[in-house]
Structure 1
């Protein structure tokens, strides 16, 4: 039903059933259709090809996130310094939704433990209390990396095994946590499973045996 609407600005509707069924065409006013998805591969090729312009959205940089946080703070009537906004933005995974969530939680911390306004110090203390580190990793991100290093010795590990070892759902790991770790270069996918990269070892303070890691990647 969507294809003729996109191509001809019309809908072909079947009325009735069997031999008495008939088709009528409804003309539509011209319109612009905008689609958004994080799972492009799940769309059929005919649907993808009917969109005339395809754009890939990038993650927000630090300056853009700072502006978003400052604007949200204004709307929420929160006093915040530039340094506080930058600190929150730097731990927001490049995502405005995450930045706004962290802003609200840091506000709660500042109101209870501070003077109600957010500066660099209160932002750091609030985010540390939430377990969000300087790169935006939370407790589950770090647990995933730690389990893969300490329990499996850095060997390639399957998704279901990681899920069982961490107590998290496999789909949640794949869709929520893994993409950011891949983007940071902390994690890699190999034919044998997931492995932690040297940057992931360094972030958790573990020594990395690069020769063993090289073998895992090549295999």
Structure 2
């Protein structure tokens, strides 16, 4: 048990719980950079101001706030906000995830050990098992769970009253949440991608916390290639810091940033090797598309889910990729970014239907 853990295994609001797969350096890095209060949370001004109002009203009432749902792409600060909520309320936080709760009994064990006012953070809440979801409905609304004892006709439901608590749910796919669960959250905040100025503010702060000397030009270069995501910005800051310490002067300046990011295959638009691989496959192998997701994934040696959830959101948002009913297609911006000329439009046939460059649809829409 760590120094910041309570006897019932709940975690102090100022603690940082990370996945066990990270290294000790990564854990210390993340712990050092997470803001502890809403006033220190950069970006997301609308969500921050709305959340500040909800928490202040709850403090004045002397009661736990409504349940909170945070949605948005990965890496934008949903976990940080959950920990900030606990810190602002001066309450401990219990952290778990949807995939870890596959049975109603798993959730019942967590709920029955919560203290009054405690914050329960459920990451990736949309991946929770359906029986656990149905138990959570009752717990969130009435602060009660029914424990089933026995099996078959002799089974008995024993109601267990719970102290008031606050659920903070985080999801990257809010559309997958069932409506009954979504409706039980009193406040829903959607996190958007950060502006370059907000990312630069985050990087300046984090460089100072890590005792890394930097220049405004170097920080701005990293921010411009971070895809609007603080998690990516922090990762790139680490890599540029490493390069500056090994091959440079130890200062994260413009030259160190450009050279290091080129070494790690991050181009001026923030596209990495996989992003460019998808665009090159579209343009060079399939004449710009349209081509099906499965075929495109095979062409770049990745799983379709990886292409759809990791690569596509940014490429579509930035206008490099177009999703059509017939498959994925490259935009003019993608051709320009790769330095390639788009193919000439094919002449229509006598029936008025354009022909495809390869003369066959086979394999293009799989």
Both proteins in one fold, TM over 0.5:
yes
Instruction: Give the CA deviation at 1:52.
Output: 2.4
Q: Report 1 or 2 for greater relative contact order, CA contacts < 8 Å, sequence distance ≥ 6.
A: 2
- The aligned counterpart of 1:94 is 228
Instruction: Give the CA deviation at 1:147.
Output: 1.3
1:111 alignment partner, one of 245, 254, 261: 245
- The aligned counterpart of 2:285 is 151
| SS of aligned partner of 1:122 | helix
Q: Is 1:51 matched up with 2:195? A: no
2:196 alignment partner, one of 62, 70, 78: 62
- The aligned counterpart of 1:196 is 330
After superposition, where does 1:130-169 map in structure 2 within 5 Å? 130-169=264-303
CA contact (8 A) 2:287 2:343 kept: no
Q: CA deviation digits over 1:133-183, x for unaligned, max 9?
A: 111001211121111111111120111111111112211111111111001
- The aligned counterpart of 1:185 is 319
| SS of aligned partner of 1:51 | coil
Equivalent-residue separation in structure 2 for 1:201 and 1:38 (angstroms): 30
Q: Is 1:127 matched up with 2:258? A: no
- The aligned counterpart of 1:171 is 305
Total equivalences in the alignment: 214
Equivalent-residue separation in structure 2 for 1:104 and 1:36 (angstroms): 26
Structure 1 residues 37-46 or 195-204, which shifts more? 37-46
| SS of aligned partner of 1:97 | helix
Equivalent-residue separation in structure 1 for 2:344 and 2:195 (angstroms): 31
Equivalent-residue separation in structure 2 for 1:142 and 1:82 (angstroms): 28
Q: CA deviation digits over 1:15-35, x for unaligned, max 9?
A: 222343322222112222121
| SS of aligned partner of 2:164 | coil
Cα RMSD between the aligned structures?
1.8
Instruction: Give the CA deviation at 1:13.
Output: 1.2
Q: Is 1:34 matched up with 2:168? A: yes
> What 5-or-longer segments of structure 1 have no aligned partner?
none
Equivalent-residue separation in structure 1 for 2:274 and 2:139 (angstroms): 45
Instruction: Give the CA deviation at 1:55.
Output: 2.2
| Residues 19 and 167 of structure 1, relative CA distance in 2, 3 Å threshold | closer
Instruction: Give the CA deviation at 1:14.
Output: 1.4
Instruction: Give the CA deviation at 1:210.
Output: 8.0
| SS of aligned partner of 2:189 | coil
Structure with the higher helix share, 1 or 2: 1
Runs of 4+ with >6 A deviation: none
- The aligned counterpart of 1:73 is 207
After superposition, where does 1:197-212 map in structure 2 within 5 Å? 197-208=331-342
Equivalent-residue separation in structure 1 for 2:216 and 2:234 (angstroms): 15
- The aligned counterpart of 1:23 is 157
Instruction: Give the CA deviation at 1:36.
Output: 1.1
> What 5-or-longer segments of structure 2 have no aligned partner?
1-134, 347-353, 357-366
| SS of aligned partner of 1:33 | strand
Equivalent-residue separation in structure 2 for 1:171 and 1:19 (angstroms): 43
Equivalent-residue separation in structure 2 for 1:165 and 1:10 (angstroms): 52
- TM-score, length of structure 2 as denominator length: 0.56
CA contact (8 A) 1:198 1:210 kept: no
